[in-house]
Amino acid sequence: MQLFPAPQRAGNLLKANSISVQIFLEKRVNTSSRGRVLVLASALLLVLLISWFFFLAVGIEPLAAYKIIGEEIFLTKYGWQDLLVKMTPLMFTGLAVALAAQMRLWNIGAEGQFHMGTFAMTWVALHYDGQLPDGMLIVIMFIMAMIGGGLWGSIPGCLKARFGVNEIITSLLLNYVAAAWIDHLLFGAWRDPGSNNFPITKEFSEAAQLPAFGNTSIHAGLILAVIFVVIVAWILWKTQLGFKIRLTGDNPDAARYAGVNIRTLTILVFAASGAIAGLAGFSEVAGIHYRLQQNISIGYGYTGIIVAWLARNHPLGIVLSAFFMSIVFVSAEVLQIEYGLPISMVYLYQGIILFTVLGSDIFTEYRLRFTRFLL
Amino acid sequence: MEFFIQILFAAVVMGTPLLYATLGGVISERAGVINLGMEGLMLVGALVAFVVMLNTGSYFYAVAAAAFASGIVSMIHGVVCLMLRASQIASGLALTFFGTGLSGLFGDKLMGETVEPLSRIPIPGLHAIPVLGPVLFNQDALVYFSYICVALSWWMLFKTRLGLNIRSMGEAPEVCDSLGLSVLGYRFFAVIVGGMFIGIGGAYFPLALTPFWVDGITAGRGWIAVALVIFAFWDPVKALGGAYLFGFALALELRLQILGVEMSPYFLKMLPFVLTILVLTLVTIRNNRRGIQVMPAALGTVFFRGEKH
Amino acid sequence: MRKIISKIIGVSLTLLMVGGYAWAGKPSVGFVYVGPIGDGGWTYAHDLGRKALEAAGHETSYVESVPEGDSERVIRKMARKHDIVFTTSFGYMDPTLKVAKQYPDKTFLHCSGFKQSKNAGNYFGRMYQAKYLAAIIAGGMSKKGRIGIVGSQPIPEIIRHINAITLGAQQANPNIEIEVLWINSWFDPAKESDAAQALIDNGADVIVTMADSAATVQTAKKNGVYAIGNDTDMAIYGKEAHLTAAVWNWDVYYLSAVKAVENGTWKSSADWWGLDSGIVGLTSFHPDVPQSLIIQMNREKGRILSGAMDVFDHGFTKQDGTRVTKALSDGEMLGMSFYVKGIISKAPSS
């Protein structure tokens, strides 16, 4: 980071009556949290604006649509329930990506770690059901999900630390392997004869299910996610280990000079990141589905990348950005149900919104400066 | 022997859309820009190719329009991650949504329409070569065009000034910038040209493989191409080998069943990816010893003048 | 006391609501689809059924491409908006039941599953009967005596259909050979096409597909062989090759089930409707199909319609040579994982 960044030219000269306006992008010297909130708010406004045009284009009265979406999501018990349920896995995967990113490591493999987490916990749930004292089963499943995701995550970590193999690539490739592995089990050994041989495992017993709140679908996974957000934030900012992680992310040379063992730290952070992604799988399977089947992750690992990025990899920001992404997804369903929009329009809408948010985020770090001068 | 030739032939056919998409990815990533939105771009290319083919009956226009449309759509990726400096990974994911949605939306009314698929044109002389002839030189025009594209993009990347500059953008954008080269310009160029190739990859589906339109016609090939770019070590010629190897794996999965070989199809599906990781690791180790960098060093990074990463 | 009062209030409220339906007119219906309507197959067929409900004056809406991971939420949204919710993929079974418990005054119908509750039933059609009849045509039209089947994923439903096709084709040609290739994917048109090509290369001259897209019909057309369509009429994609298609007519079921709910006569059950209901059927035949073959097919059809026989009830031989003499129960058919004799490919290991 430079203290006195030189203004950069980003745009062309705009000519107006012999007075030229030159647009500069200037890096903000320090991004205040108030400024960040302002920018996020303006991004939201921009999203509203863009969707206004989108709605007009597809023949929907925008104000009415905002009203319906707002009511459906925020004014009903179910709306909140849906948001919180959807947020849970996104918080885990977002946190997983963010933790690695604090060390400038890209974990694109949260999707695969999610799957391996579900694999490890399901293995326990299928083989040790009824053989463990009350309450133990779910705890062991929890630990196994972390181990499953963590080991899977440590592969790109090790390859990076030991040989310098790019972690973006290895973690991405391992997603395909994990997905095929789950299919192999579902179409093979784990297929439940009691369910007409469909590619689903047998339903977990109650001992292997996370408790839900009242009559809702919100489950204990949400609490776990919040706890983990706090734990990661605490580690990052209050411990020696966190300091090392952040220092390595900011300036590896300084970290090396300060005696940080970057190799070990890389493996550790990647394993931890994978473990957290594995918990996303744990919370989905033990909290909602109670069995392993196909398509349990609907790209949570990938969406987690967006979540982490929007939060600027800050654990507490993850909560907000996961919330935001949930709104994007849940509002899409409202559009489908209320207006009969086809899924393709919904994808398009989501794509446009993501582009908008991604594109507008630049203004948290840079600000436009207009300089006028006479030609 | 006949059976063997059939597998190889199918490998080339199945590998061709992958090859185009991989070439596009190679060019883009050589300039330092990862594009995870390949699936979306391929779908856009497939749809546009089909619509244009349906209305003009010209393969040439169809392919050109597919390339053009995907080039335009990939510009969004360029704007978001090059000019607005968003994460390339996140922007690519948004592109997947966008392209999938766009193709589905405009493909809505096309159910039941069909076009005449590209016919095979044996190349005189060459197609008589044993094994290689029927496999490589008894294909359709888009397959032949892919050979040319491989050669051209290899030549462009490694034998021309333009290619050198593009590659430099992926290695050391700061240095290029200080030499007065426009990082933004070259990277934009690479993203668009890459996007055009990816679009042609998509066009191969309705023009040759499955001459009709159905939502999501590429069935995840874009994601395989993302992995293939790595497998090819950012080299157009190796992309050819990689794409055919993946095509071979697809063709083999079916023909092993004919031979009655019992093998979990899921292991077969994993194999190429595991292989890629292994090879990548081995090559990286070898190159570490020799001090060669195999991957574009600045891949995935945001370049901003005056900033250090 | 308080409990009793609240119960009374609750009951009267429920009564009011039930009464409310009668006044409000026709029940509204929501659909949850696993694929896009544009798949031209499974989801498309269901959506034709939904359109029939619209035409009959019901308010309907749908959500497409709902992955299993999201289904519970979408089903719940549908339940809040509609009186009846149809969920059309096996993977939605548990979520459907879960939501049904939360909305006891709504009706839920899940396609292809096996669980029920008081307000959640399931439904399916005996597609294997239509496949059996289509296969008689296929068997008669194969000159080389070899039929190729493109399978999607090896689940009991598809295996049941493959067996029905084999038994049907044997009606026309007792020595017919059936070769099966699994693409191991629910949707991959390019691979379906390659699978059809591989089967044709290996000697098949009639291709039957279990996958959604028209890719196999196209490939058959290109190679000058015949094909049988799946789920919807695929003749538009290649009438030169398209012998017939075994199709779903979901409107038959949807109209009837919704009517029953409307009249208050609906009871949760496991409906597995057969050929006689019209839920499955064949499309018009290729001009090449000789009249004698159609007569033979119609004879079998008549026996199924009259209840004189079903596909798996009059004895058959499994691939391993064991003879099955007694009729299979619905449960046995629903969990089918073996091949019958006549299929030359190995059964997928389970």
Contacting residues of B for C182, CB less than 8 Å apart: 257, 265
- Closest-CA residue in chain B for C38? B215
Which of A28, A152, A177, A324 would you mutate first to test chain B, the one with the most B CBs within 10 A?
A177
Contact predicate B86/A361, CB 8 Å: yes
Task: Flag whether residue B281 sits within 8 Å of chain A, measured between CB atoms.
Answer: yes
CA of B217 to nearest chain C CA: how many angstroms apart? 6
Report pLDDT for B303.
Answer: 66
Report pLDDT for B192.
Answer: 97
CA distance linking residue A44 with residue C121, whole number of Å: 43
CA distance linking residue B195 with residue B26, whole number of Å: 11
Find the DSSP H helices in A285-314. 300-310
Report pLDDT for C70.
Answer: 85
With pLDDT > 90 as the criterion, what percentage of chain B qualifies?
Answer: 61
Residue C7 banded pLDDT, cuts 50, 70, 90: very low
Average pLDDT over residues B26-46: 95
Beta-carbon separation of A184 and B305 below 8 A: no
Contact predicate B169/B31, CB 8 Å: yes
Q: Break chain B into its structural domains and give their ranges.
A: 2-120+128-262
Task: Flag whether residue A168 sits within 8 Å of chain B, measured between CB atoms.
Answer: yes
Beta-carbon separation of C73 and A197 below 8 A: no
Q: What's the CATH code, domain A79-321?
A: 1.10.3470
Contacts of A128 (CB under 8 A, 6+ apart): A137, A140
Beta-carbon separation of B114 and C236 below 8 A: yes
Q: Which helix (H) or strand (E) element contains residue A24?
A: strand A19-27
Contact predicate B265/A199, CB 8 Å: no
CA of C2 to nearest chain A CA: how many angstroms apart? 21
What ipTM was reported for this prediction?
Answer: 0.92
CA distance linking residue A153 with residue C108, whole number of Å: 41
Residue C260 lies in a domain: no
The 10s digit of each residue's pLDDT in B166-204 is: 999 988 888 888 888 889 999 999 999 999 999 999 999
What would you report as the CA-atom Rg of chain A, rounded to the nearest whole angstrom? 23
Task: Choose the most confident range, by mean pLDDT, from A28-37, A272-281, B81-90, C207-216.
Answer: A272-281
Residues on C contacting A at a C-beta cutoff of 8 Å? 30, 36-38, 61-65, 67-70, 72-74, 76-78, 80-81, 90-91, 94, 98, 102, 114, 153-156, 184, 334-337, 348-350
Residues C97 and C184 in one domain: no
Contacting residues of C for B114, CB less than 8 Å apart: 218, 236-238
Does domain B2-120+128-262 bear CATH number 1.10.3470?
yes
Task: Flag whether residue A8 sits within 8 Å of chain B, measured between CB atoms.
Answer: yes
Number of domains present in the structure of chain C: 2
Which of B139, B210, B264 would you mutate first to test chain C, the one with the most C CBs within 10 A?
B210
Calculate the average pLDDT of chain C.
Answer: 90
Report pLDDT for A35.
Answer: 62
Residue B308 banded pLDDT, cuts 50, 70, 90: very low
The 10s digit of each residue's pLDDT in B231-253 is: 888 999 999 999 999 999 889 98
- Positions in chain A whose pLDDT score sits under 70: 1-37, 39-40, 364-375
The 10s digit of each residue's pLDDT in C146-195 is: 999 999 999 899 999 999 999 999 999 999 999 999 999 888 999 999 99
The 10s digit of each residue's pLDDT in B165-174 is: 999 998 888 8
CA of B69 to nearest chain C CA: how many angstroms apart? 22
CA distance linking residue B31 with residue B25, whole number of Å: 10
CA distance linking residue C269 with residue A49, whole number of Å: 49
Contact predicate A177/A271, CB 8 Å: no
Neighbours of chain A (3+ CB pairs under 8 A): B, C
Residue C343 lies in a domain: no
Residue C107 lies in a domain: yes
Contacting residues of A for C349, CB less than 8 Å apart: 188
Residue C315 lies in a domain: yes
- Closest-CA residue in chain B for A172? B227
CA distance linking residue B12 with residue B273, whole number of Å: 19
Q: Break chain A into its structural domains and give their ranges.
A: 16-60+341-375, 79-321
Residue C47 lies in a domain: yes
Beta-carbon separation of C76 and A78 below 8 A: yes
Average pLDDT over residues C139-151: 96
Beta-carbon separation of B212 and C214 below 8 A: yes
Contacts of B34 (CB under 8 A, 6+ apart): A168, B28, B88, B89, B92, B299, B300
List Cα–Cα distances, B264 to A293, B254, C193, in angstroms: 18, 12, 21
Beta-carbon separation of B267 and A180 below 8 A: yes
Contact predicate A81/A216, CB 8 Å: yes
Expressed as residue numbers, the domain containing C317 is 127-247+280-334
Report pLDDT for A32.
Answer: 58
The 10s digit of each residue's pLDDT in C11-26 is: 444 444 443 444 357 8
Report pLDDT for A39.
Answer: 66
Report pLDDT for C38.
Answer: 84
User: Which CATH number belongs to the domain containing residue C30 in this structure?
Assistant: 3.40.50.2300
Tokens describing residue B296: 């574009």
Q: Residue B306: pLDDT above 90?
A: no
CA distance linking residue A67 with residue A65, whole number of Å: 5
Beta-carbon separation of B300 and A309 below 8 A: no
Q: Which helix (H) or strand (E) element contains residue C29?
A: strand C29-32
- Closest-CA residue in chain B for A168? B300
List Cα–Cα distances, A202 to A184, A190, A205, B290, C37, in angstroms: 16, 8, 9, 53, 30
Contacts of B71 (CB under 8 A, 6+ apart): B192, B193, B195, B196, B199
CA of B108 to nearest chain C CA: how many angstroms apart? 7
Count the alpha carbons within 13 Å of C108 in the hemisphere toward its beta carbon.
31
Contact predicate C108/C268, CB 8 Å: no
Strand partners, A237: none
- Residue closest to A262 by CA, chosen among A274, A250, A273: A250
Report pLDDT for C27.
Answer: 93
Q: How many CB atoms lie within 10 A of CB A84?
A: 19
Residue that finishes a domain, picked among C70, C103, C125 = C125
Give per-residue burial for A204-220: e unless 16+ CB within 10 Å, then b. beebbbbebeeeebbbb
The 10s digit of each residue's pLDDT in C219-233 is: 999 999 999 999 999
Residues C65 and C132 in one domain: no
Conformational region of residue B214, where left means phi above 0, alpha means psi within -120 to 50, and beta covers everything else: beta
The 10s digit of each residue's pLDDT in A242-280 is: 999 999 998 889 999 999 999 999 999 999 999 999 999
Residues C175 and C228 in one domain: yes
Contact predicate A96/A113, CB 8 Å: yes
Residues C240 and C204 in one domain: yes
Q: How many CB atoms lie within 10 A of CB C192?
A: 31
Q: Give the strand pairing for C177-182 and C107-111.
A: unpaired
Report pLDDT for B51.
Answer: 96
Find the DSSP H helices in chain C. 2-24, 42-55, 68-81, 93-102, 127-141, 156-172, 189-201, 215-223, 250-263, 291-306, 330-334
Report pLDDT for C107.
Answer: 96
CA distance linking residue B86 with residue B77, whole number of Å: 9
Report pLDDT for A375.
Answer: 39
Contacting residues of C for A284, CB less than 8 Å apart: 69
Residue C135 lies in a domain: yes
Report pLDDT for A27.
Answer: 60
Beta-carbon separation of C70 and A298 below 8 A: yes
Contacting residues of C for A288, CB less than 8 Å apart: 72
A342 vs C64, C73, C80: nearest CB: C64
Residues C116 and C87 in one domain: yes
Contacts of A57 (CB under 8 A, 6+ apart): none
